[in-house]
Structure 1
Amino acid sequence: MKGILVVEDDPQLGPALQRGLTAEGYRVELVRDGTTALERALTGDHAVIVLDIMLPGLNGYRVCSALRAAGLSTPVLMLTAKDGEYDEAEGLDTGADDYLVKPFSSVVLLARLRALLRRGSTAATGRSVLRAGDLWADLTSRRAGRGATEFALTPKEFAILTCLLHAPDGPVSKEAILDEVWDPAYSGGTAIVEVYISALRKKIDAPFATHSIETVRGYGYRLTPCEQPS
């Protein structure tokens, strides 16, 4: 069974996370510095990585960036005591899949880990590349594009796109997208989904004169397969 790699140098929090996750039935490996974390992540077999940002040696940003550069697609949940928007953006830009600010409850941590494990399982057991017309998303490499042109998507934009690609021609509600892409602790409304859909359209449709993301009034969105004009 694949386990969880916990990277945390706090002498109390690290062992507490290991004990708590072990009690939940997970196999847990704990390391306390960035250099060891990078080595174990690249050579081990983990289903998800819980990665602190402030670490001795390499910090979490550099570890995550190096993992993605090496082609490792294992989901990464970043932990930090910081709570600024810039810190979250930097973490996600390096390839992290989610972000959790300390202090956090075990309930929220477990919910986010389950969500990441579900995504990893879907990618591992389902189709590795989803398609609709000339639009595609590679779940393994976390790359997406239209035809030969690749998009530069944020982690959430990529997650929304794959959510729509799993149901081509079928409507997907805003609530379903929110449940799939955002963590359970998010207390805002579905307006945030509209903001990200708008940003996604600017990247996957507008430059190609296509209209693949349709609005289903009062419900959500439908992805319609289409080809860019020749």
Structure 2
Amino acid sequence: MIVLQLVLAHLLGDFILQPTQWVEKRRKKGKGLVFRVYHVLVHMILVALLTGFSVDTLWMIPVIGASHFGIDFLKDRFYSKKRAVALFLLDQLAHLMVIAAVVYGDGVNFSNIELSLESIYALAIGLLLATYVSSVLIRMVLNSVLNELTDSKMDESMRKAGLIIGMLERVFVFAFVVLNYWQGIGFLLAAKSIFRFGDLSQKDHRIKTEYVLIGTLLSFGLAMLSGGLYNWIT
């Protein structure tokens, strides 16, 4: 159970309770330290709350806080738009490795973890991965692959609409995978193709077509991975 508690605390702290302004200001000299400390404090509070302030796990709070500060410092120090996706993946991997090390140090045997009473944690983690975490990753991939989409060809309303549609479709795909209703994914993809790709048939819509196609494939793929992970855990 402690594994899921720590992972849930990480996802909430990194993707739900971290405003975009914090991420941007962390990379600036001077104020960066302050917002990095804010971010770490949020993580430490979440760990304390989700573990119930247990005396046996209190030592994890400063360890996770200190490691999170160091990992984020390195990520911000070497950040660039070209390296955004790679740094994001390495950053998340490093945080998860710290959580694994902390849990291992607490004497938990990963092969014998009982998850029957912790399905709510697994569900929360799966949904967060399918929605917010996937949104961040998809946005970075699209920005790095299709830089021209940042100009007037892709207005702000289209980006916001795509964000909402993407989250909703990933929730549906996640549910279909959990329910083992794979036909539903096919129907959803077909429906999106009819409504979304039908308006992008002209030659001057090539960029938007690539944007929608790459975003759709990433969205469906990440949602299926999240659903598969939930099924594996439970």
Q: TM-score, normalised by structure 2?
A: 0.30
Higher strand share: 1
Larger radius of gyration: 2
Structure of higher RCO (CA pairs closer than 8 Å, 6+ residues apart): 2
TM-score by length of 1: 0.30
Q: Which one has the bigger helix percentage?
A: 2
